[in-house]
């Protein structure tokens, strides 16, 4: 087969459907992640740091 501009391109509907479903599921997953992070922020991300009181250092015991 040659790439003639007169012949229409063959469309693989199965792969197109998989790509579409993948995009739909990724969009839903990203929305769920963002909503979850709003409720339970991850400790590693600096999203509005909360000032915590400094912990006192423990004094070593005398022997």
Q: Give tens-digit pLDDT for 12-60.
A: 999 999 999 999 999 999 999 999 999 988 777 655 555 677 777 777 7
What pLDDT is recorded for position 49?
A: 56
Distance CA 11, CA 38 (A): 41
What pLDDT is recorded for position 13?
A: 93
At residue 20, φ and ψ (nearest 5 deg) are -65, -45
Look up the pTM and report it: 0.47
What pLDDT is recorded for position 48?
A: 54
Confidence of residue 5 (pLDDT cuts 50, 70, 90): low
What pLDDT is recorded for position 55?
A: 77
């Amino acid at each position: 087969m040659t790439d003639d501009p007169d012949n229409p391109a063959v469309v693989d509907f199965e792969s197109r459907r998989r790509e579409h479903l993948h995009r739909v599921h990724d969009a839903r997953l990203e929305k769920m992640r963002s909503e979850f992070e709003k409720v339970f922020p991850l400790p590693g991300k600096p999203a509005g740091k909360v000032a915590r009181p400094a912990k006192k250092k423990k004094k070593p015991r005398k022997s």
